[in-house]
Amino acid sequence: MKLYFIRHGETDWNIQKRLQGREDIPMNAAGREQAAQCAKYLSLYWREKGYSEPLIVTSPLSRAWDTAAAIAESLGIPKDRIVRDDALVERDYGSQSGMTYQEREEYEKTHPDSPEIETREQTARRVWAAVSTYRERCRRQGREHLILVTHGGCIRSALRSLEDVEIDWDKLLLNTGVTILEEDGNRLRMPVHNWSAEALYLSTQK
């Protein structure tokens, strides 16, 4: 089985470099175009590979849902088959959500402890618990592919919890970037990290 973590398209807060938590900030025009391009190339990749229909699960926040809807449409999957799950909502950044990185640095000088912020470990636990549930559903339904449309904080937290995964954590995740995890015995290996869907498709044309 393959898991596909896909980040949502761009929002105005992404451009402004604001810490974007659970606020329902929609995609901007560029983000909607990114979602459309991601969907287009992911469907081309899917057809090139001859893959069967995936299960699509998304965060309920509109920036993720709308990205998932574009992907589903490109793959010929009705929207009512998309699963919304709160476990894939963005990490809770508490009172720091909405701050720019500079504002956050200033805030942390006077607030060194922020217990209301969800830790990476807490985020990873809820994400992987949900993934485990949907992997089991895929097995029961005979599916080989699970697409998870979610947020940068969720994806980074989940990947950080994996053993034997080497990632440049200073590099930001692309909006609509795709990371693929593949079952390899009792572990997951990561053949693709933070690729655009276009790059993923073009990799099949070499």
Cβ–Cβ under 8 Å, residues 96 and 102: no
**What is the number of other CB atoms lying within 10 angstroms of the CB of residue 125?**
15
Task: Work out the angle at residue 155's Cα, subtended by the Cα atoms of residues 70 and 115, and round it to the nearest 5 degrees.
Answer: 125
H or E element in which residue 155 lies? helix 152-160
Cβ–Cβ under 8 Å, residues 11 and 153: no
First vs last C-alpha separation in the chain: 24
Residue 163 among the catalytic residues = no
Cα–Cα distance, 63 to 84 (Å, whole number): 12
Among residues 90, 145, 151, 193, which one is catalytic? 90
Which long-range CB contacts under 8 A does 180-183 form with residues at least 24 apart? 180/2, 180/3, 180/4, 180/5, 181/2, 181/3, 181/5, 182/1, 182/2, 182/3, 183/1, 183/2
Counting beta carbons within 10 angstroms of the beta carbon of residue 73, is it exposed (0 to 12), middle (13 to 18) or buried (19 or more)?
middle
Residue 90 among the catalytic residues = yes
**Which residues, 6+ apart, have CB-to-CB distance to 122 below 8 Å?**
none
Catalytic residue numbers read 8, 90
